[in-house]
Amino acid sequence: MPEQDVAAVKTALKSQRIETPSWAYGNSGTRFKVFAQAGVPRTVREKLDDAARVQRHTGVAPVVALHIPWDRAGADDDFTALASYAADKGLRLGAVNANVFQEDAYKLGSVAHPDPAVRRKALDHLMECVDIMDATGSRDLKLWFADGTNYPGQDDIRARQDRLAEALSAVYERLSEKQRLVLEYKLFEPAFYSTDVPDWGTSYAHCLKLGPKARVCVDTGHHAPGTNIEFIVAFLLREGKLGAFDFNSRFYADDDLMAGAADPFQLFRIMYEVRAGGGLEGTAEERAAEGEGPGVAFMLDQCHNIEPKVPAIIRSVMNVQEATAKALLVDREALAAAQRAGDVLTANGVLMDAFNTDVRPLLADVREELGADRDPMAAYAASGWAEAIVRERVGGEQAGWGA
């Protein structure tokens, strides 16, 4: 590869920002059991301390997504102070994830609930999340609704869409010009008959009506098996409606395993479509700048139930980077020529050549140039952090998935 091309690939890799989820640092589990790990954060600040380690070793993960109420900032809920704490650690606070699924009131849904009092309660929480975004400087409000029904006839599917649209529109109006909402879809679970935002088309249709500050969030674990996620990505980017990823791996349903662990080839195909759609262009600042800008947020949304959490997150960041590097190595000119010529095998070969390239040495150079570690996993293991947190973090328990 010519030297100037290598330089361009490195520049793109250095400007990528991978956002880690605060909840991945805490205890989580399956519906059967939460296996508590020693040394997990007891406070949101300790989650940021762990995130700072991930950033120190990788150099591309300086953003941390929050979850409200799991990440209450403290007795006084001072999110401005939390943002400065993050800044002192070389981090910034990212997407604010709302939670309208963990209270008894939400048994039959939140913003689509048949009872207006429950809808009001849910909307109040979403508005509070925007207040928090004002304090933290976060751009994105991430909305995932557990709303749906378990039985045919349980509720009116069309009326639920009307209620959902009403809430979304109220939240949209509350956003500043620099803020966005990203609407996540999920095929099923916890609802098993109908889900109110089950797929990208539903999310897209709502976002289109809302306006330019509303985008779709693609969680890679939220589709039927066999779904071509890269097609969804290509389509949404083309329409200017791809807002964010929740990266994770799945073998069966919403497994929330480490990104790139189950199917690195799929992650590569997704990242190739991101690249082809212009999602890797510009500087990190340009992409993070404003509500109506082009920025796609590369977030992780995963739970580390049996593996140690900080290195699992480091591994996930590296896996996303590897897929990105391979996507950037695709020889677009050769690919376009083969496609024009209808040369199926050559076109496929161009993609496979990039996928089969060992990008680890390139990424080691990128990290070194960023002042991070060539081998983040080894550097973390040698750092003593894992032992220190077990020694120091005694007592206390942070709320989180299943905890």
Give the residues lining the site for ligand AOS (CB under 6 A): 23, 67, 97, 99, 144, 184, 186, 219, 246, 254, 301
Tell me how far, at minimum, the Cβ of 219 lies from Zn ion, in Å: 4
C-alpha span between 166 and 243 (Å, rounded): 21
Question: In terms of CB distance, is 23 or 272 closer to ligand AOS?
Answer: 23
Pick the closer one to Zn ion by CB: 168 or 354.
168
Tell me which of Zn ion, ligand AOS, none is bound by residue 23, counting a contact when its beta carbon lies within the kind-specific cut-off of 5 to 8 angstroms. ligand AOS
What does the radius of gyration of the chain's CA atoms come to, in whole angstroms?
21
**Of 48 and 300, which has the nearer Cβ to ligand AOS?**
300
Interface ranges with Zn ion (CB under 5 A): 219, 246, 254, 301
We find the least distance from the C-beta atom of residue 133 to ligand AOS, in angstroms, to be 15
Residue with smaller CB distance to ligand AOS, 67 or 92: 67
User: In whole angstroms, how close is the CB of 310 to Zn ion at the nearest point?
Assistant: 20
Contact in structure between 242 and 235 (CB atoms under 8 Å): no
* 67 binds, options ligand AOS, Zn ion, none, Cβ within 5 to 8 A by partner type: ligand AOS
Nearer Cβ to Zn ion, position 274 or 350? 274
Is residue 282 within 8 Å of 239, Cβ to Cβ? no
State the nearest-atom distance from the C-beta of 331 to ligand AOS, in Å.
35
| Binding partner of 50, given ligand AOS, Zn ion, none, CB within 5-8 angstroms per partner class | none
How far, in Å, CA of 170 to CA of 111, rounded? 11
155 binds, among Zn ion, ligand AOS, none (CB under 5 to 8 A by kind): none
Cis peptide before 225 (omega within 30 of 0): no
Q: How far is the CB of 250 from ligand AOS (least distance, A)?
A: 11
CA distance 37 to 35: 6
Quote the least distance from Cβ 100 to ligand AOS, whole Å.
10
E runs forming strands in 269-389: 297-300
Q: Which does residue 309 bind out of Zn ion, ligand AOS, none, counting CB within 5 to 8 angstroms by kind?
A: none
Residue (30 or 357) nearer to ligand AOS, CB: 30
Query: Please, which residue, 60 or 217, has the CB nearer to Zn ion?
Result: 217
The interaxial angle of helices 3-15 and 309-329, nearest 10 deg, is 140
Buried b (16+ CB within 10 A) or exposed e, 256-290: bbbbbbbbbebbbbbbbbbbbbebbebeeeebbeb
Q: Cβ contacts of residue 384 below 8 Å, gap of 6+?
A: none
Nearest residue to Zn ion, scored by beta-carbon proximity: 246
Q: Please count the other Cβ atoms lying within 10 Å of the Cβ belonging to residue 342.
A: 8
275 binds, among Zn ion, ligand AOS, none (CB under 5 to 8 A by kind): none
Supply the minimum distance, in Å, between the C-beta of residue 79 and ligand AOS: 17
Contact status, residue 310 vs residue 302, Cβ threshold 8 Å: no
Residue 27 contact partner, candidates Zn ion, ligand AOS, none, CB within 5 to 8 A by sort of partner: none
Which residue in this structure is represented by tokens 């749906």? 148
| Strand 148-149 relative to strand 194-195, pairing | antiparallel
